[in-house]
């Protein structure tokens, strides 16, 4: 009786670009931007509240430190927003019927003595069009 173990491997998801996909991608990116803007507002609100409470205690060094942290966090979030905005522009300019790498997911494969590990863990891609799998590239049975 041969032992079998399950290993994790990466599966790449590629979307065939359609108008619906471009709209979906833009919507997802716009939603992420809105969420980040809300996060910035919440951070500023909490930071200002904390600074107000520290001002009554006269902790100027702590206040300066918190202000620096707030400024840094806000700048980081604004950089992400700028990157997402750029990605929206790129999404609108994607060529129809081209392939766009949406991301990766983990897939699992069983292996046993005598299997070719390289084949089992080799590249696997799912090609999707408007959410429907069109093709599986690579050794899905590995």
**Confidence bin at 52 (pLDDT 50/70/90):** confident
**Confidence bin at 141 (pLDDT 50/70/90):** low
Of residues 57 and 124, which shows the higher confidence score? 124
| DSSP class of 122 | S
Its pTM surpasses 0.85: no
**Which residue reads 């939603």 in tokens?**
31
The arithmetic mean of pLDDT across residues 60-77, rounded, is 89
For 68, phi then psi, to 5°, come to: -65, -45
Of residues 99 and 140, which shows the higher confidence score? 99
Mean pLDDT of the chain: 90
**Confidence bin at 140 (pLDDT 50/70/90):** low
């Amino acid at each position: 009786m041969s032992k079998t173990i399950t290993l994790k491997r990466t599966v790449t998801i590629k979307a065939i670009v359609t108008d619906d996909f471009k709209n979906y991608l833009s919507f997802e990116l716009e939603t992420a931007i809105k969420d980040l803007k809300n996060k910035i507002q919440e951070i500023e609100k909490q930071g200002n509240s904390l600074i107000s409470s520290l001002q009554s205690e006269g902790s100027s060094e702590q206040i300066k430190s918190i202000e620096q942290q707030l400024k840094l966090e806000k700048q980081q979030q604004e950089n992400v927003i700028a990157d997402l905005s750029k990605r929206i522009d790129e999404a609108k300019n994607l060529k129809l019927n081209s392939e766009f790498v949406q991301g990766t997911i983990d897939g699992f494969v069983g292996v046993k003595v005598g299997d070719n590990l390289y084949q089992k863990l080799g590249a696997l891609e799912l090609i999707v069009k408007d959410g429907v799998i069109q093709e599986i590239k690579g050794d899905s049975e590995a």
